[in-house]
A and B are shown apart, each in its own frame.
Chain A
Amino acid sequence: MLELDRISVARGELRVVRDLALELPPGEMVALLGPNGAGKSSTIMAIAGHVPVVAGEIRLDGRRIDRLAAPERTRLGLGLVPEGRRIFADLTVRENLVVGGYLLPRAEAEAREREVTALFPRLRERRQQRAGTLSGGEQQMLAIARALMVRPRLLLVDELSLGLMPAVVDLCFAVLQRLCREEGLACLLVEQNTQKVLSVADRVTVLSAGRTVWQGSAAAARADEALIDRMLGLEAG
């Protein structure tokens, strides 16, 4: 599915990620952890095509995508739930989903809209409501639903839990886990909420200052308290 082959990512002149290598097979969830400024969001935005990759290759199903424009990557099956959600606040819930499915033919988009709102019934209730007036949790559901419109095979999720109630976080992760299990969706999760993400992810990559400092299974990370402490310690510093 997704392969990051020793990529380096730049924001302006600054290299914020160096030599990151990562493989993400279908149906798996990988967590990208690390303190603020470690380069997690830059990695997500680079995979989605919003930040340039200056070295290395990104491949999706063996096909090189790091030179493609963002909408081409969406077309190939990549979904993005960006940092801060970035839903279209002035549009209604339904209109946000229309934009999410803009690459699909109209009839297919309408059918897909019913499927994604079935995953989040709350959104169906609020179909005609302006997205900016939704609660934080509902906005996060909308951001996920919008990204799911094109039936992505890889979903990039940046800071799902930020500022949300634990119950809503659990609900969103439960939906993602179900899609991974049942439809073979692959998820790359960037998280600050280490405890929660270790309980849902299969594997973990830890970044610090743009470099990979640890990779392994989530079970190993859960077992190794010292590692978690180190990550949290880095977060505090």
Chain B
Amino acid sequence: MFYFELLVAGLVQGAMYAMMALGLTLIYGLLRILHIAHAAVFTLGGYVGVLAANSGLPLAAAAALAVLAAAAAGPVVYGTVYRPLLDKPPYVALIASIGLLIAMEDGFRLLFGPYGLSFAENPWFVSGPDLGGIFLNWVQIALGLSALVAIAGLGLFAVGSRTGVAWRATVDDPEIAMSFGVSPERVRLLAFALASALAGLAGFLVGLLNNLIEPGMGNITSYKGLAIVVLGGLGNVPGTLWASLLLGVAESFGTIYLDRILDRDAIAFFILVVVLMWRPQGLARGR
């Protein structure tokens, strides 16, 4: 039972990583940009959520606001930072992205203080259903469910709608897709909106889980997200999902068996280094 609990906790953590890494890999697939500042959008979701909740809104409404704010921020980030740099070499956008992350992090610090904010009330954290001996709180349930719904929804959208098909065609060959009337610009804006909505929701839920929203909360998650998208094969969506779950579970067991030698957060990077030495192209094929 103990191992099963560890597995479930690991899968929940992996679901959270998936919500972050999915956006990174979708954006990489379209633009060949490693969107480091995704972490700041994650943090933005946390701040909008905690401010809304502490002003008296119910948690579900706060979550919706966090998602909306993040979904709006993504296209703005694309339009102001990445679009002007599209015809520059990819490292220019990468450096701009790092700069944006630092700027947003310090912005949060200036606006809301360096020590972070906590939820005045956190009912989802302190209660949860008893699932036959395994205890998960409502935040963990929400994380797992959100990831499932988001992944299933994106999957259906990608194969079942004309817009989804047009999106995949744009990833494949933007010039030819454009000539058939697909607007690459609209696809990019949509990708940033969806990816950022997921990151914002993840930020809000992680904030609830730690009962703390602080300016640098996205950093470690973001670095792990990068490790995951590299392991999963850059731009490879199924590979990214597998790598997310794998990392969540590895960390979960690692905290029990490796805690004398490796910190929880070091596990991702340890795996990354080992895998890259053995398979520089990642575990799965990239784009």
Residues of A bordering B, CB below 8 Å: 48-50, 70-71, 73-75, 80, 82, 86, 88-91, 95-96, 98-103, 106, 146, 149-150
Contacts and interface: CB of A to CB of B under 8 A. Distances in A.
B96 interface: no
Contacts of A98: 162, 165-166
Contacts of A90: 168, 171-172
A71 B184 CA distance: 12
Contact of B182 (A80, A82, A89, A102): A102
B59 to A, nearest CB: 39
A71 B162 contact: no
Range, interface on chain B: 10 to 19
B181 A89 contact: no
Contacts of A149: 180
A48 B179 contact: yes
A147 to B, nearest CB: 9
Contacts of A80: 176, 179
Which of A49, A75, A99, A106 has most chain B Cβ within 10 Å? Answer: A99
B132 to A, nearest CB: 40
Per DSSP, are chain B's interface residues mostly helix, strand or loop, or mixed?
helix
Given A98-B162, A102-B162, A106-B162, A71 B179 contact: yes
Nearest to A80: B179
Interface in B149-195: 159, 162, 165-166, 168-169, 171-173, 175-182
A100 B180 CA distance: 6
Contact of B176 (A86, A95, A103): A86
12 contacts: A48-B179, A71-B182, A86-B173, A86-B176, A88-B169, A99-B177, A102-B166, A102-B180, A102-B181, A102-B182, A103-B181, A150-B180
A96 B182 CA distance: 12
A223 B271 CA distance: 70
A71 B168 contact: no
A90 B175 CA distance: 16
B165 A50 contact: no
A11 to B, nearest CB: 14
Nearest to B182: A102
Given A95-B165, A102-B166, A89 B178 contact: no
Contacts of B169: 88, 91, 95-96, 99
